[in-house]
Amino acid sequence: MKLYIVRHGQVPHNDLKQYNIADEDLTDLGIKQACNLKDKINNINFDIIISSPLVRTRHTAEIINANNTNVIFDDRLKERDCGNLSGKPLDFVNREEYWNYNTTLQYGTSENIKTFFQRVFSFLDELKTKEYKNVLIVAHSGVSKAFSGYFEGIKDGRFLNRGLNNCEMKEYEL
């Protein structure tokens, strides 16, 4: 099975360099990014599109769904819950440590990185039991970091720079 993971288009908190705000929609640039991506992937026949249920991913999935493929939503694809870091500048905490799988630090009420990765890994483990050929996943930067950990290994545990940019796509074999 081929998996194509896409990060949603730009949202206001991306532009403002802040920790995510739970349910923002795409900016005008985010819409343009999604339209450009649609043109790049419209020749791939996806059996299904599986998306995070958040507004930014729903909107991205709607735009890039050139062939009116069935879209389902899975809560396990939601972004890592940053808790009380929401809306704070990205440099409010040490981001290297925030995205370090081996950290012993807890930043406020944010979701523990290992718990977050396990959530995404359980989604991938379940997906292995399906009979799809091509699956498009529309999710978030953090989810793409978890995909990297699943397919490429935890390695040194540092995930800050292992995520996708807005409307970037990566392919994996499951």
Q: What are the tens digits of pLDDT across the range 127-151?
A: 999 999 999 999 999 999 999 999 9
This prediction has a pTM of 0.97
Neighbours of 52 (CB within 10 A): 23
More confident residue, 90 or 21: 90
Decide if pLDDT at 22 tops 90. no
Instruction: Establish how many alpha carbons lie within 13 A of residue 35's alpha carbon, considering only the half-sphere containing its beta carbon.
Output: 7
**Contact 158/145 with Cβ under 8 angstroms?**
no
Q: In angstroms, rounded to a whole number, what is the distance separating the alpha carbons of residues 57 and 48?
A: 15
Q: What is the mean pLDDT of residues 91-106?
A: 96
**Contact 92/19 with Cβ under 8 angstroms?**
yes
Q: How does residue 120 score in pLDDT terms, banded at 50, 70 and 90? A: very high
pLDDT given at position 21: 80
Decide if pLDDT at 156 tops 90. yes
Catalytic positions: 8, 79
Q: What are phi and psi of 171, to 5 degrees?
A: -110, 140
E-strand stretches of 35-143: 48-51, 71-73, 134-139
CATH fold for the domain made of 2-173: Rossmann fold (3.40.50)
- In percent, how much of the chain has pLDDT > 70? 99
